[in-house]
């Protein structure tokens, strides 16, 4: 039914750019101990540091030497700002700007430019320069590329991200966002920005923020400073000036430097002479996001809207809220479009204004919450659009992280209209005039929106029983359902192979072939040996004199050492020469035992030893002892020649009375044979 419906689709980046979008701020409380340690107690100290777009870290020590990955480059002096590009590094000192190669750290260029306030990376390995009230750009060779922009007030900081410049005004309370292409600027008051964000969230006022330093990333601006109550923290802004995150440092320790590395935040703690660098994963991403589609039209004036389908990644505790607004008023549509195109407003302010204009047209929100196993794959969320007679509609999506371990994100949005509906298949009494208040239409709309994937879910039931295609979370339950020995320590590919070999394993349970199938599934392609000593007792061949054979030790049957014999050890009056049981021949009876030999690495042995012992023990009968042996995979242990008995393919027949040589064997490194070529035993030698 949905396949025949026309739809608006937003999935690719050009399609999503048609929507108004802004970040939703998240309030964070960070501590030094929550970050992952990147470098501890750098002995030479840190004067400045920066992260490249690919995450590589560079810093200048207190002696002025450029350092990266343990390599020390040229001495740059008292660097005040370090900027990393794709292939070049730029450093600013009080008197000059220096350029070095990222890979070799070789000094390439020195420009005598004094009085600079700050620098920021530009495209094409160029650089933006700030001096008091002027910003201009140079290329990789140091040539000026433009006359630049004049600022309305003195600035102390400069950053660049996603084609925009952010200029921090003197005093740290105002920020100017400048389009690098045409110089159009938007001035933002930080105190007002924070207050508006608190009002939107319904939070108590925490006071303003004063920035002391600004840094640019891929698509964010990071302002480091202090809150009105004196607490150290930072503001993370979207390129349109919306707050992506507000953070405070707790525990009495705040970093002296911050940098953006992709979606992560890098912070330098401690004294500059011996600092440590810590990484806070995904802390450079927005706490949430709002997206509003442009005005959408149906193909008929009757307004045949059906539903909206959203594809998103929603980890546990994250939320997805959706609502729509519909109207038939073309004047209202024009007003909304003018508000969306206002060049003097940030996207966040535009969305707030549009929300007010459409007040009274909005539907109630539909909210979904991420589940415990969510966020690993894209999910589809659907909600109905019930707007008869209203051919103009807007759809708003709102994602909130809510402290989730990973940030949620959008995939695609489909808005369906003017297609066949479920209500069209009902009798006429339930449609049109028979449904005057629209109750049946709304009910069928909800049913239609929430059951679109039911056929796919039913079809996927078989997939969940396939170990190669099911989700990893289903593997333990699938193994338990089949009655297979299982351990969570096994890697997911091993779990899949184990369940895939269930027919062979279960058919051979309690026998050697079951153990062979189990171990072979876990370690495919390896020369695994499984020996049932109770059933596989075979003679061994002693090699030598041109005959191949096996190495000792091996299982040898013979009289027990407890059986008395005439020798020097007998004590008269104490040793019984006749056994109490005349049927007892005094032979050593082999105990029931299964020996398993697995070639593996030391890491595999450490990781899987306990799991394999537990699983193998569940496969053998009670009373049978398990002996598990791990063999190095480097070839030191020759396949087919271990201390376990090896079956002989075609043994030579032995006849009593013949003096033919049985073979020769070396024990303990001795070079002389224990059996000579004539089949006799040398004096003072015994086989056992």
- Kindly report, residue by residue over 500-536, the tens digit of the pLDDT: 999 999 998 888 889 999 999 999 988 888 887 666 5
**300 vs 337, higher pLDDT:** 337
Mean pLDDT of 183-210: 84
Cβ atoms within 10 Å of 383's Cβ, excluding its own:
22
> How big is the CA angle at 546 (ends 542 and 549), to the nearest 5 degrees?
25
Cα–Cα distance measured from residue 407 to residue 397, given in angstroms and rounded to the nearest whole number? 15
pLDDT-derived band at 552, boundaries 50, 70, 90: low
- Residue 419: both structure tokens together: 């297609």
Query: For residue range 391-416, what is the model confidence (pLDDT) as tens digits?
Result: 999 999 999 888 787 888 899 999 98
Q: 28-42, 146-160, 228-242, 540-554 — which is least confidently predicted? A: 540-554
Give the confidence band of 542 by pLDDT, cuts at 50, 70, 90.
Answer: low
Angle at 327 between CA 321 and CA 328, to 5 degrees: 160
Q: Is the pTM of this model over 0.75?
A: no
Residue 138 reports pLDDT greater than 50: yes
pLDDT digits (tens, 9 = 90+) for 580-594: 555 555 445 556 788
Q: Give 54-100 pLDDT, tens digit per residue.
A: 888 899 999 999 988 778 899 999 999 999 988 899 999 989 999 99
Work out whether the CA dihedral 294, 297, 303, 308 comes out positive or negative.
negative
Determine the pLDDT at residue 553. Answer: 52
If you search the block for the tokens 């998240």, which residue do you land on? 26
- pLDDT level of residue 450 (50, 70, 90 thresholds): low
Residue pair 413/310 in contact (Cβ under 8 Å)? The answer is yes
Minimum mean pLDDT among 53-67, 100-114, 569-583: which range?
Answer: 569-583
* N- to C-terminal Cα separation, the chain: 84
What SS3 class is residue 676? coil
- Report the alpha-carbon distance of residue 493 to residue 468 in Å, rounded: 9
β-strand 71-75 against 65-68: which pairing, if any?
A: antiparallel
Question: Taking the alpha carbons of 32, 34, 35, 37 in that order, is the dihedral positive or negative?
Answer: positive
Tell me phi and psi for residue 89, to 5 degrees: -120, 135
Separation of alpha carbons 156 and 440, rounded Å: 63
Reply yes or no on whether the pLDDT at 624 is more than 80: yes
pLDDT at 11 over 50: yes
- Average the pLDDT over 331-360 and give the result: 90
Please name every residue paired with 266 in a beta bridge, in sequence order, or none if there are none: 259, 279
Q: Which helix (H) or strand (E) holds 268?
A: strand 264-269
* Alpha-carbon torsion (223, 225, 229, 232), positive or negative: positive
Q: Does residue 112 sit in helix, strand or coil?
A: strand
Output DSSP code: residue 199: H
Q: Are 448 and 472 a contacting pair, CB within 8 Å? A: no
Q: Is residue 240 classed as helix, strand or coil in its secondary structure?
A: coil
Binned at pLDDT 50, 70 and 90, residue 565 comes out as: low
Instruction: Check residue 536 and give its pLDDT.
Output: 54
Q: Which of 43-52, 224-233, 450-459 has the lowest mean pLDDT?
A: 450-459
Angle 576-577-581 from CA coordinates, rounded to 5°: 80
Percentage with pLDDT > 90 across the chain: 33
- Grouping H, G, I as helix, E, B as strand and the rest as coil, residue 84 is strand
Is the N-terminal amide bond of 553 cis, ω within 30° of 0?
A: yes
On the question of pLDDT at 123 being above 50, the answer is: yes
Tokens 């330093």, residue? Answer: 213
Mean pLDDT value across the chain: 80
Return the H-helix or E-strand segment holding 72.
strand 71-75
Distances from the Cα of 35 to the Cα of 52, 80, 111, 245, 484, angstroms: 19, 25, 37, 17, 41
Lowest mean pLDDT among 155-159, 307-311, 549-553: 549-553
At 623 the pLDDT is: 82
Query: How far apart are alpha carbons 307 and 16 in whole angstroms?
Result: 19
Cross-strand pairs, 159: 166
Predicted confidence (pLDDT) at residue 142 exceeds the cutoff of 50: yes
Three-state SS at 591: coil
- From its phi and psi, is residue 310 left (phi > 0), alpha (psi between -120 and 50) or beta? beta
Looking at residue 507, the DSSP 8-state letter turns out to be H
Is the pLDDT at 254 greater than 70, yes or no?
Answer: yes
| Predicted local confidence at residue 375, as pLDDT | 62
56: left (phi over 0), alpha (psi -120 to 50) or beta: beta
For residue 339, give the H/E element and its range.
Answer: helix 330-340
Give the full edge-to-edge strand order of the sheet including 593-599: 529-532, 593-599, 625-631
**Max avg pLDDT among 118-122, 417-421, 422-426:** 118-122
Calculate mean pLDDT across residues 253-263: 88
Neighbours of 163 (CB within 10 A): 11
Residue predicted with more confidence, 540 or 317? 317
619-631 mean pLDDT: 88
Contacts of residues 635-642 at CB distance under 8 Å and 24 or more positions apart, as own/partner, are 637/599, 639/527, 639/599, 640/527, 641/550, 641/551, 642/529, 642/597
């Amino acid at each position: 039914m949905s396949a025949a419906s026309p739809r608006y689709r937003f999935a690719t980046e050009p399609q999503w750019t048609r929507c108004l979008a802004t970040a939703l701020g998240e309030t964070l409380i960070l501590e030094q101990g929550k970050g992952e340690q990147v470098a501890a107690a750098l002995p030479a100290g840190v004067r400045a540091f920066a992260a490249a777009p690919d995450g590589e870290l560079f810093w200048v020590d207190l002696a002025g030497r450029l350092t990266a990955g343990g390599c020390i480059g040229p001495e740059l002096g008292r660097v005040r700002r370090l900027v990393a590009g794709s292939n070049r590094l730029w450093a600013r000192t009080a008197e000059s700007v220096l350029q070095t190669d990222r890979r070799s750290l070789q000094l390439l260029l020195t420009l005598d430019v004094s009085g600079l306030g700050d620098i920021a990376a530009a495209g094409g390995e160029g650089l933006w320069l700030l001096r008091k009230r002027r910003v201009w750009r140079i290329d990789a060779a140091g040539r000026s590329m433009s006359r630049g922009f004049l600022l309305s007030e003195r600035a102390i900081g400069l950053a660049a991200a996603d084609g925009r410049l952010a200029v921090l005004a003197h005093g740290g309370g105002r920020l100017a966002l400048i389009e690098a292409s045409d110089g159009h600027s938007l001035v933002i008051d930080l105190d007002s920005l924070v207050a508006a964000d608190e009002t939107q969230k319904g939070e108590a006022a925490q006071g303003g923020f004063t920035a002391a330093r600004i840094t640019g990333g891929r698509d964010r601006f990071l302002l480091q400073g202090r809150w009105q109550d004196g607490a150290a923290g930072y503001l993370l802004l979207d390129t349109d000036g919306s707050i992506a995150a507000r953070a405070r440092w707790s525990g009495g320790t705040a970093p002296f430097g911050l940098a953006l590395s992709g979606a992560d935040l890098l912070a330098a703690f401690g004294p500059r002479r011996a600092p440590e660098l810590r990484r806070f994963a995904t802390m450079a991403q927005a706490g949430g996001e709002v997206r509003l589609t442009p005005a959408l039209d149906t193909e008929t004036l009757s307004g045949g809207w059906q539903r909206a389908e959203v594809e998103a990644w929603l980890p546990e505790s994250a939320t997805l809220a959706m609502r729509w607004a519909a109207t038939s008023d073309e004047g209202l549509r024009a007003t909304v479009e003018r508000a969306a195109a206002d060049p003097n407003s940030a996207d966040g302010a535009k969305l707030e204004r549009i929300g007010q204009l459409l007040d009274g047209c909005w539907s109630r929100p539909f909210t979904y919450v991420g589940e415990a196993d969510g966020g690993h794959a894209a999910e589809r969320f659907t909600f109905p659009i019930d707007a008869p007679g209203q051919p103009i509609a807007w759809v708003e999506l709102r994602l909130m992280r809510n402290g989730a371990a990973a940030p949620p994100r959008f995939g695609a949005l489909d808005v369906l209209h003017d297609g066949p509906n479920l209500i069209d298949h009902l009798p006429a009494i339930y449609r049109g005039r028979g449904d005057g208040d629209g109750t049946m239409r709304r009910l069928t709309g909800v049913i239609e929106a929430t059951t679109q994937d039911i056929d796919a879910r039913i079809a996927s039931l078989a997939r969940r029983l396939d170990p190669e295609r099911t989700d990893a979370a289903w593997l333990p339950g699938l193994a338990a359902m089949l009655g297979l020995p299982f351990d969570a320590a096994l890697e997911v590919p091993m779990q899949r192979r184990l369940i895939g070999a269930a027919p062979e394993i279960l058919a051979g349970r309690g026998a050697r072939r079951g153990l062979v199938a189990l171990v072979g599934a876990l370690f495919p392609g390896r020369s695994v040996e499984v020996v049932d000593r109770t059933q596989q007792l075979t003679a061994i061949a002693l090699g030598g004199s041109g005959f191949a054979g096996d190495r000792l030790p091996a299982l040898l049957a013979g009289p027990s050492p407890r059986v008395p014999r005439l020798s020097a050890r007998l004590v008269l009056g104490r040793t019984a020469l006749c056994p109490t049981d005349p049927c007892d021949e005094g032979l050593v009876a082999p105990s029931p035992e299964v020996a398993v030999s697995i070639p593996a690495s030391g890491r595999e042995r450490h990781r899987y030893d306990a799991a394999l012992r537990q699983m193998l023990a569940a496969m053998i009968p009670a009373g049978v002892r398990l002996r598990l042996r791990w063999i190095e995979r480097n070839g030191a242990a020759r396949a087919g020649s271990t201390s376990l008995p090896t079956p002989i393919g075609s043994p030579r027949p032995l006849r009593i009375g013949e003096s033919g040589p049985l073979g020769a064997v070396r024990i303990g490194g001795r070079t002389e044979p224990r059996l000579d070529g004539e089949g006799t035993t040398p004096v003072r030698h015994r086989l056992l």
